[in-house]
Structure 1
């Protein structure tokens, strides 16, 4: 029997929220009314010693605590971002870049148009862990997937272009679960680099969320090191921020998108509950230059 891959350091602290997302995607995939199907998500949880991660040790129930607060948000944003990326690829974005992909499996589970290239970007050990788990479970490696080992704090655009991304062609970018974990200057740098590596016609898909008293308390109950997970992201609202860099954004409240999918407002962003904040899903297009 093959040995289990070691859990990388980048998935043991704040970065381990990738395993929390995997847990919620696995649960959503078991629902009769699921918004998406991720047949790989449970594999990552099965590969992790519960002592190594609070997420792997979490109860299968999401009836309380942090997982309950964000379960619907993860389900809704996954469906929304899946659809956005597929529509972008069908509209001519032949390159898709998943930033800080963690254990994301979109390159495996979505029905991409022929010829679409998917660039999964993260630390080398995170990619190795994900790829090893999937290989051990017999998942066939998609021919259109390219793993790019790099650090988003470094010159990651160089790494992605060296791996084959053509910045002269339109790209669909995904920044999921990322903005709120960045301090403002880092968020600005990320968007500046995305913009500089994007051809006209490119599309950016992302989510963002305010921290709140409710979320901070729930994170603290799960793990003390997760309390500082939220670093704020951009100081401007998303529409102003994206427009300043030349993008044409459409920003939707998470409650609006949830209602579209016939789901309740995610608990962490329900204005009828005390101590909540707001959450958003956004798409942005880079227009043709005049």
Structure 2
């Protein structure tokens, strides 16, 4: 068993929220009415020295206000994005790209159609940390899996294509927990690169969160670094932004998705509170 592992450099700062999300995935997986099952999520928390990560200190995610407020949103987005990727794969996207995958386990826990290749893109040390934990717990992938060590601030499409992605065939892309950590110009560059590497019929699945007084307050309780690393994301509405790059979007407010899954509106986005914002889940197809 892996215990007291060092947190990789790529999981410091805003990237370290991947461990917080793992805690929430583990919590959701323990619910009898769970929206998904991630049998590996808790292993990442167990592998981390609590002295190196605020996410590993709390006995339950509810002990950290930021996690308590975002727990339902993470559960909703995980289920929504799981289904979006599986539907895209079933409809012919046999290439799936998980951007900044962190400690994502979709290549291991989802029932992928035969022949699907999942490309997992992140820093090399993050991929190594995740693989060490999963290997020591006997995890087996349910698809063809390709790890791509790359920095999204650099020329990652070239690295991805060199790893085997075929830009002439439809691809399902995942941008989970990314947009709000980027300034507007960086989100534009990200979408420009995704679009350039996409063939007609490709699908993009993503989430976005509007910052708010409540989220800023609870992030500040964890660290100033986490507070400052939220950069706002696209400068325009998601549907307008996606359409500007040629995608055909379908955007859903978190309250709408919560009602669909018979869950309460996430506390961080409760419309009756003046100090909350909005969260969205979206898919888009390239005609």
**TM-score of Structure 1 vs Structure 2, range by shorter chain:** over 0.9
Which residue of the partner structure matches residue 24 of structure 1? Answer: 24
Deviates further, 106-115 or 226-235: 226-235
Report the equivalent of 2:98: 98
Match of 2:164 in 1: 164
Residue aligned with 2:62, SS: coil
Contact 2:249 2:285 in 1 (8 A): yes
Q: RMSD of aligned C-alpha atoms?
A: 1.3
TM-score (norm 2): 0.97
Alpha-carbon spacing, 1:37–1:161, altered in 2? closer, same or farther (3 Å): same
Conservation of the 8 A alpha-carbon contact between 1:73 and 1:254: yes
- Deviations 1:133-176, CA, capped at 9 Å, x for gaps: 10111112455011000000111001111111100000000000
CA shift, 1:13, in A, is: 1.9
Contact 1:243 / 1:249 at 8 angstroms: preserved in 2? yes
Question: How far apart, in 2, do the equivalents of 1:71 and 1:143 lie?
Answer: 28
Mapped partners of 1:82, 1:92: distance in 2: 16
Alpha-carbon separation, structure 1, partners of 2:115 and 2:191: 26
What residue in structure 1 maps to residue 39 of structure 2?
39
Which secondary structure does the structure 1 equivalent of 2:97 belong to? strand
Q: Deviations over 1:187-238 (max 9, x none)?
A: 0000000000000000000000100000000011122211113201110100
Q: Is the 8 A contact 1:12 1:52 kept in 2?
A: no
Cα-to-partner distance string for 1:49-69 (whole Å, 9 max, x where unaligned)? 011011111231516611111
- SS of the residue corresponding to residue 230 of structure 1 reads coil
Give structure 2 stretches of 5+ with no counterpart. Answer: none
Tell me the residue number matched to 2:58. 58
1:5–1:133: 8 Å Cα contact kept in structure 2? no
